[in-house]
């Protein structure tokens, strides 16, 4: 399983990334939408965890692009909070789940675990 | 006073209360009095004109009566004077036509007497009185022959003036009559007096034949007001007539007087010249004007009834009007309050969401950092204070958990998820909620009783939200009661097709000053344990479901929260507000 983390909070993504590595989970991280999409073009990811509010390419655009580039990739929206319309919109655009920060890494993995295997 | 309590409108005692948009009592007074004025002014005006016309009519009628009296006085006076003059002239003629010697013959005098009686009537007797005052010859029913009149006043007067007419007196047979005496003077003859007694019956006939109103009276009095002919109102001959004054009689005056029965009278007085008599005509204007009085009383009654009816109708109308304004104001105030409250919740919700978002990002970093520290400690090798570090990390994680709990609840409060309706069995739902709390209740020995009738209908509502609402209230109830306390949940049907869920506890209760604020966000009395969001969230949820919450509490005895919920969404239970806009 390979995961891509996109969040403008560098400390957050790097820490989650490090913790995933400690658990031997293959992952990459990016601190902007542009960076994330560049990584996505080069590699295949099973899951993308993306923040909603970022400078430059925001969460919605990122979700749309991910679905366009790699339709099979699952997306988790990880956000401090957004209005319900935003959450609904994210789901409509193709996000599979949303989680509100802060999230325990176990919870994150639990979300990915059952559906983690490719259909 | 019970009449007033029936008439008193609902807003009466509220007038002037602080914060009322209008002084309703004043509004009612203005409305009432202006309507009364508008309706009464024409009526009063009309009544005034009416009374003026009545007065005119009255005066006119009175003048008529006065004129009538005057006419009667004038004509009757002439008739009486003529009556007396006729008899005086007859006696004068007898004097002229006969010598003293001839009159002194009894047969001749008797013949003259008979002729006088037959042609004029009313002659009772006739006598010849000589120079010495002795009645020489007497023709009549009494034995007056040879009677000496020398010292009597009338004898002296007739000697002096040549004619004398006496007042009426009762003779021997007790019937009224009067005397006419005429002095005779001829050259070469001794002076003598011819004296005749006249029956007043003829006078009475004359007075009775006058054109008099049925309620009127006409009679003669002497100079001191003693009746000379019988009166219908004042009694028989020789009784005193109280309203006489010779000076007024000389002026032919008409005066006001009060009759024996207390009725007002118009009295006309006139002196009959050349006699001791005065003519009196009495009229009772009241009996003639009575029909006008009746009419006037009727008009007064009509006006009073109209005024009463107008006042009543205007009162009902204006109280009704002001009452409607009052009720509309009340409704508007309630709605404004509701809107204000909803807006307050909404803006606090937006604020909370913003704050939560800002906090969640750094908290997320702390959370991950401490998670990483824990990972490293657990996966790394043994080092001196590993356990202590792990404990610190655990404390940080717990604190992060607390912060995130608060922010999540804030977000939950601010979030307005679309209502997902599904069929709900209220009993099952409540039992589910109680399972969450069962352990705490059991541990603290709190008795939770559920009373739900079998006929409670299933509802269409958002299950999760309803659970959340009940959970919040039950949480509060648990916090309020002491160990071993009691919480009762009662479900009942509402008339309008809703359901009421009443949750009562016997806990410490809520002071009155806090009752108003309990649904406001961040209001808490639980200190550190509470976020102050539970009841706000519940309030928002119940509103969104189309219901409303009531709370009753008495400090020291307990609190009852009652949720009024519609069975079907859209059928709001009374003042249920609509869900507010997005947050």
In the numeric block, the tokens 């007739």 are attached to B158
Chain A hits for B582, Cβ within 8 Å:
83-85
Res B377 pLDDT > 90 = no
> Do B352 and B410 form a contact (C-beta atoms < 8 A)?
yes
> Do B477 and B503 form a contact (C-beta atoms < 8 A)?
yes
> Across the interface, do A100 and B375 touch by the CB < 8 Å criterion?
no
Give the least confident one: B209-218, B260-269, B283-292, B327-336: B283-292
Cα separation, B46 vs B57, in Å, equals 16
pLDDT of residue A119: 34
Nearest residue to B149 via CA among B130, B165, B168: B130
Closest chain A C-alpha to B527 CA, distance in angstroms:
25
DSSP single-letter state for residue B525: S
The three-state DSSP-derived secondary structure of B181-237 is EEEECCCCCCCEEEEEEEECHHHHHHHHCCCCCCCCEEEEECCCCEECCCECCCECC
- Selected for mutation to probe chain B from A20, A78, A81 (highest B CB count within 10 Å) is A81
Chain A hits for B360, Cβ within 8 Å:
80-81, 100-102
> Do B6 and B315 form a contact (C-beta atoms < 8 A)?
no
> Across the interface, do A9 and B366 touch by the CB < 8 Å criterion?
no
DSSP single-letter state for residue A28: E
Count other Cβ atoms within 10 Å, centred on residue B70.
15
> Do A41 and A89 form a contact (C-beta atoms < 8 A)?
no
**Which residue range is the domain that position A27 belongs to?**
2-114
> Do B562 and B549 form a contact (C-beta atoms < 8 A)?
yes
B125 backbone dihedrals φ, ψ, rounded to 5°: -150, 175
Percent of chain B past pLDDT 70, that is, above it, reads 91
> Do A90 and A49 form a contact (C-beta atoms < 8 A)?
no
Tokens for B380?
A: 């790394």
Q: Which whole number is the average pLDDT over B360-369?
A: 90
pLDDT tens readout for residues B408-458: 777 665 555 455 677 888 888 888 888 777 777 888 888 889 888 888 888
Total count of residues recorded for chain A: 119
**Cis peptide upstream of residue B120 (ω within 30 degrees of 0):** no
Cα separation, B240 vs B224, in Å, equals 8
Say yes or no: B371 contacts chain A, CB-CB below 8 A. yes
Closest chain A C-alpha to B375 CA, distance in angstroms:
7
B441 backbone dihedrals φ, ψ, rounded to 5°: -60, -45
Domain presence at residue A119: no
Count other Cβ atoms within 10 Å, centred on residue B230.
19
DSSP single-letter state for residue B298: H
The more confident residue out of B524 and B55 is B55
Confidence band, pLDDT 50/70/90 cuts, at residue B575? very low
Selecting from A15, A79, A100 the residue whose C-beta is nearest the C-beta of B368 gives: A15
Chain A hits for B364, Cβ within 8 Å:
9, 12, 80, 101-103
CA A38 distance to own-chain centroid:
14
Q: What angle do CA B441, B445, B448 make, to 5 degrees?
A: 55
Strand partners for B279? B220, B270
Q: Spell out the alpha helix ranges (H) of B240-385.
A: 246-250, 285-379
Res A26 pLDDT > 90 = yes
CA A44 distance to own-chain centroid:
13
> Across the interface, do B358 and A80 touch by the CB < 8 Å criterion?
yes
pLDDT tens readout for residues B490-500: 999 887 778 99
Chain A hits for B408, Cβ within 8 Å:
100
pLDDT of residue B245: 86
Cα separation, B429 vs B471, in Å, equals 11
In the numeric block, the tokens 């969640």 are attached to B360
Query: Based on the number of CB atoms within 10 Å of its own CB, is A16 exposed (0-12), middle (13-18) or buried (19 or more)?
Result: buried
> Across the interface, do B363 and A83 touch by the CB < 8 Å criterion?
no
CA distance to B9, B14, B145, B320, B466, per residue, from B24 (Å)? 10, 8, 104, 12, 42
> Across the interface, do B365 and A9 touch by the CB < 8 Å criterion?
yes
Cα separation, B243 vs B227, in Å, equals 11
Instruction: Give the helix, strand, coil percentages of chain B, each rounded to 5.
Output: 50, 20, 30
> Across the interface, do A102 and B363 touch by the CB < 8 Å criterion?
yes
The more confident residue out of B2 and B429 is B429
> Across the interface, do B356 and A80 touch by the CB < 8 Å criterion?
yes
Q: Which residues of A touch B (CB under 8 A)?
A: 9, 11-12, 15-16, 18-19, 22, 79-85, 100-105
Say yes or no: B346 contacts chain A, CB-CB below 8 A. no
The more confident residue out of A33 and B20 is A33
pLDDT of residue B577: 35
The three-state DSSP-derived secondary structure of B425-436 is CHHHHHHHHHHH
Chain B hits for A50, Cβ within 8 Å:
none
Tokens for B481?
A: 């009661």
pLDDT of residue B21: 60
Selecting from B367, B371, B415 the residue whose C-beta is nearest the C-beta of A84 gives: B415
Strand partners for A50? A6, A77
Domains (ranges, CATH) in chain B? Answer: 60-283 (3.30.450.20), 416-583 (3.30.565.10)
- Selected for mutation to probe chain B from A8, A15, A50, A91 (highest B CB count within 10 Å) is A15
Tokens for B110?
A: 């008797």
- Selected for mutation to probe chain A from B356, B357, B368, B401 (highest A CB count within 10 Å) is B368
Q: Which whole number is the average pLDDT over B530-559?
A: 82
pLDDT tens readout for residues B19-72: 566 678 888 889 999 999 998 898 889 888 988 988 888 888 888 888 988 999
Cα separation, B389 vs B57, in Å, equals 121
> Do B112 and B127 form a contact (C-beta atoms < 8 A)?
no
B561 backbone dihedrals φ, ψ, rounded to 5°: -100, 130
> Across the interface, do B367 and A19 touch by the CB < 8 Å criterion?
no
Please give the model's pTM, rounded to 2 decimal places.
0.46
> Across the interface, do B356 and A102 touch by the CB < 8 Å criterion?
no
Nearest residue to B266 via CA among B276, B274, B278, B258: B258
Nearest residue to B90 via CA among B68, B65, B118, B48: B118
Domain presence at residue A14: yes
pLDDT of residue B570: 61
Closest chain A C-alpha to B477 CA, distance in angstroms:
30
Chain B hits for A82, Cβ within 8 Å:
357
> Do B494 and B573 form a contact (C-beta atoms < 8 A)?
yes
- CA-nearest residue of chain A to B417? A84
Cite the beta strand spans of chain A per DSSP E. Answer: 2-6, 26-30, 47-50, 74-79, 97-100
Chain B hits for A9, Cβ within 8 Å:
361, 364-365
Cβ contacts below 8 Å, chain A against chain B, sum to 73
The more confident residue out of B577 and B91 is B91
Chain B hits for A100, Cβ within 8 Å:
360, 408, 411
Cα separation, B583 vs B574, in Å, equals 25
Direct distance between the N- and C-terminal alpha carbons of chain B, in angstroms, rounded to an integer: 56
The more confident residue out of B273 and A119 is B273
CB interface of B with A, residues 372-431, below 8 Å: 372, 375-376, 379, 400, 404, 407-408, 411, 414-418
- Identify the three-state secondary structure at position B505: strand
Cα separation, B254 vs B251, in Å, equals 9
CATH number of A22's domain: 3.40.50.2300
Nearest residue to B108 via CA among B136, B150, B141, B148: B136
Number of domains in chain A: 1
Selecting from A12, A81, A85 the residue whose C-beta is nearest the C-beta of B368 gives: A12
Chain B hits for A80, Cβ within 8 Å:
356-361, 364
pLDDT tens readout for residues A57-106: 888 999 999 998 888 899 999 888 666 677 778 888 888 888 888 888 88
Query: Based on the number of CB atoms within 10 Å of its own CB, is B286 exposed (0-12), middle (13-18) or buried (19 or more)?
Result: middle
Selecting from A18, A22, A101 the residue whose C-beta is nearest the C-beta of B360 gives: A101
> Across the interface, do B371 and A104 touch by the CB < 8 Å criterion?
yes
pLDDT of residue A36: 92
DSSP single-letter state for residue B14: G
B101 backbone dihedrals φ, ψ, rounded to 5°: -60, -45
Cα separation, B462 vs B466, in Å, equals 6
> Across the interface, do A84 and B404 touch by the CB < 8 Å criterion?
no
pLDDT of residue A30: 94
Q: Which whole number is the average pLDDT over B306-329?
A: 90
> Across the interface, do A84 and B416 touch by the CB < 8 Å criterion?
yes
> Do A44 and A62 form a contact (C-beta atoms < 8 A)?
no
Res B16 pLDDT > 60 = no
> Do B451 and B490 form a contact (C-beta atoms < 8 A)?
yes
> Across the interface, do A15 and B372 touch by the CB < 8 Å criterion?
yes
Cα separation, B111 vs B117, in Å, equals 10
Q: Which whole number is the average pLDDT over B259-275?
A: 86
Direct distance between the N- and C-terminal alpha carbons of chain A, in angstroms, rounded to an integer: 13
- CA-nearest residue of chain A to B414? A83
> Across the interface, do A83 and B379 touch by the CB < 8 Å criterion?
no
CA distance to A38, B135, B417, B424, B514, per residue, from B465 (Å)? 42, 143, 9, 12, 25
Domain presence at residue A69: yes
Closest chain B C-alpha to A60 CA, distance in angstroms:
18
Q: Which whole number is the average pLDDT over B561-566?
A: 90
DSSP string, B156-186: HHHHHHSEEEPPPEE-TTS-EEEEEEEEE--
Res B324 pLDDT > 80 = yes
Selecting from A80, A82, A84 the residue whose C-beta is nearest the C-beta of B361 gives: A80
Handedness of CA B470, B474, B476, B477 (dihedral sign): positive
């Amino acid at each position: 399983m390979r995961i891509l983390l996109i969040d403008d909070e560098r400390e957050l993504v790097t820490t989650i990334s490090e913790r995933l590595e400690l658990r031997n989970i293959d992952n990459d991280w990016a601190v902007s939408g542009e960076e994330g999409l560049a990584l996505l073009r080069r590699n295949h990811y099973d899951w993308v965890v993306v923040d909603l509010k970022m400078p430059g390419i925001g969460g919605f655009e990122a979700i749309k692009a991910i679905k366009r580039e790699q339709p099979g990739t699952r997306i988790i929206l990880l956000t401090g909070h957004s209005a319900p319309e935003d959450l609904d919109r994210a789901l409509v655009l193709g996000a599979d789940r949303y989680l509100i920060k802060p999230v325990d890494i176990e919870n994150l993995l639990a979300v990915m675990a059952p559906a983690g295997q490719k259909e | 006073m019970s009449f007033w309590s029936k008439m008193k409108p609902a807003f009466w005692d509220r007038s002037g209360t602080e914060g009322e948009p209008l002084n309703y009592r004043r509004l009612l007074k203005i409305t009432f009095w202006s309507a009364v004025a508008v309706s009464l002014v024409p009526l009063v005006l009309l009544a005034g004109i009416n009374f003026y016309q009545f007065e005119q009519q009255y005066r006119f009628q009175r003048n008529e009566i006065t004129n009538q009296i005057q006419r009667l006085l004038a004509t009757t006076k002439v008739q009486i004077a003529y009556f007396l003059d006729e008899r005086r002239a007859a006696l004068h003629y007898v004097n002229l036509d006969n010598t003293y010697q001839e009159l002194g013959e009894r047969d001749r005098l008797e013949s003259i007497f008979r002729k006088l009686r037959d042609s004029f009537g009313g002659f009772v007797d006739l006598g010849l009185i000589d120079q010495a005052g002795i009645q020489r010859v007497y023709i009549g029913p009494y034995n007056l022959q040879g009677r000496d009149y020398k010292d009597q006043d009338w004898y002296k007067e007739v000697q002096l003036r040549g004619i004398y007419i006496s007042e009426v007196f009762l003779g021997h047979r007790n019937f009224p009559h009067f005397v006419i005496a005429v002095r005779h003077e001829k050259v070469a003859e001794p002076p003598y007096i011819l004296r005749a007694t006249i029956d007043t019956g003829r006078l009475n006939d004359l007075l009775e034949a006058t054109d008099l109103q049925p309620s009127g009276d006409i009679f003669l009095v002497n100079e001191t007001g003693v009746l000379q002919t019988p009166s219908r109102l004042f009694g028989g001959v020789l009784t005193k007539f109280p309203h006489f004054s010779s000076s007024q009689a000389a002026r032919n005056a008409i005066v006001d007087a009060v009759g024996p029965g207390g009725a007002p009278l118009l009295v006309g007085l006139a002196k009959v010249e050349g006699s001791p008599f005065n003519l009196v005509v009495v009229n009772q204007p009241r009996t003639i004007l009575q029909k006008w009085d009746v009419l006037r009383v009727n008009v007064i009654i009509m006006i009073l009834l109209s005024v009463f009816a107008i006042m009543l109708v205007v009162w009902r109308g204006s109280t009704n009007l002001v009452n409607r304004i009052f009720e509309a104001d009340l409704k508007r105030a309630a709605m404004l309050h509701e809107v204000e409250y909803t807006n307050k919740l909404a803006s606090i919700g937006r604020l909370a969401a913003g704050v939560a978002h800002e906090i969640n990002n750094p908290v997320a970093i702390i959370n991950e950092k401490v998670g990483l520290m824990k990972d490293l400690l657990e996966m790394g090798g043994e080092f001196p204070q590993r356990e202590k570090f792990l404990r610190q990390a655990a404390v940080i994680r717990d604190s992060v958990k607390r912060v995130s709990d608060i922010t999540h609840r804030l977000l939950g409060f601010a979030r307005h998820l679309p209502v997902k309706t599904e069929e709900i069995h209220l009993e099952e739902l409540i039992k589910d909620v109680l399972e969450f709390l069962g352990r705490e209740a059991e541990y603290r020995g709190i008795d939770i009783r559920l009373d739900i009738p079998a006929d409670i209908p299933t509802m269409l509502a958002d299950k999760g939200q309803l659970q959340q609402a009940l959970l919040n209230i039950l949480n509060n109830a648990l916090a309020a009661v002491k160990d071993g306390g009691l919480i009762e949940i009662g479900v009942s049907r509402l008339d309008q097709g809703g359901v009421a869920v009443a949750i009562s506890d016997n806990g410490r209760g809520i002071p009155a000053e806090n009752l108003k604020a309990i649904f406001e966000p961040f209001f808490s009395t639980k200190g550190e344990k509470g976020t102050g969001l539970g009841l706000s969230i519940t309030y928002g949820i119940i509103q969104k479901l189309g219901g409303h919450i009531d709370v009753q509490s008495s400090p020291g005895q307990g609190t009852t929260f009652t949720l009024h919920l519609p069975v079907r969404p859209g059928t709001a239970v009374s003042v249920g507000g609509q869900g507010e806009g997005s947050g």
